[in-house]
Amino acid sequence: MKKLLLTLLAVVLICPCALAKSAKIGVLAPIGHDEKDLIRWSENITQAEGRGRMFKNPNTVIIYDTLNAMIMALKAGQIDQLSIGLHTAEYLTARDKDFALTDNKHNIVFGYALAVREEDKAKIMAVNSAIQKMRSDGTLASLIRENITELGNADPKATPLPKYDDAETVRIAVTGDLPPMDCILADGTPAGFNTAFLAELSRRIHRNFELVSITAGARQTAISSGRVDALFWARSVYTSKREILPYLLDKLSGVAISEPYLIESRAELSLRSN
């Protein structure tokens, strides 16, 4: 009996997941990853966080093209939880008593950036310069505070985008799948942080933005086909010290990506226990 207990202890020490309960986890469609890739990604990220070099993810990952489809799957009991950004998790729990935030203690964070086609990468220099200035003069922090962290239960607002007769128009894809960062109202109007940030960026780089509504799962196709010129968000992965990690969540091809305009923690969301 003693030998058996020692053997079980050794298994636990070697593989922290040995006694872990398997769960079905919904994720919003990344670019360039399938479900098996995401399992490997999660194992790499867990090891990068210093939480088990031998970690093997026991869970099943299921990809959804839209946030609404993922929420419906959770409420129908088809998945056990969602893995999303913290701001979206907090937005959803503030508006639906059925949801509970179950984990937001990750060291690794998401960084959100604009993406343009590779042939337009020279434009990223102007975007990066504007983001840096917005960060240094406090504008970016103010936009995040007003449209995300201090929004509470209020509805996201749609900020009108400037229009310049002498400026180029950039068609930019928004999804509505990451409220309140990327939000589309019930009447189809883009709103929230996306319109506030893009309005400020438009003024600083003197470009018109035309918003094109797509789903998260259609981002790569939309930009590679020329339907849009840019994506409002593409996700990279950073340490808590903003050091970029090689484990990209959105592996886009043929694009250039700006520096991140927003960084947030990951979180898990599930149905509240009765």
pLDDT in tens, the chain (274 residues): 444 434 433 333 333 443 357 899 999 999 999 999 999 988 888 888 777 677 788 899 999 999 999 999 999 999 999 999 999 999 999 999 999 998 777 778 899 999 999 998 898 999 999 999 999 999 999 999 999 999 988 999 999 999 999 999 999 999 999 999 999 998 999 999 999 999 999 999 999 999 999 999 999 999 999 999 999 999 999 988 888 889 889 998 899 999 999 999 999 999 998 6
* Separation CA 170–CA 71 (nearest Å): 31
Where do the domains of the chain lie, and which CATH numbers do they carry?
A: 2-103 (3.40.190), 109-265 (3.40.190)
Residues 6+ apart with CB under 8 A from 72: none
Closest CA to 265 of 17, 45, 38: 45
User: What letter would DSSP give residue 182?
Assistant: B
Q: What is the pTM of this model?
A: 0.88
The tokens for 183 are 């939000």
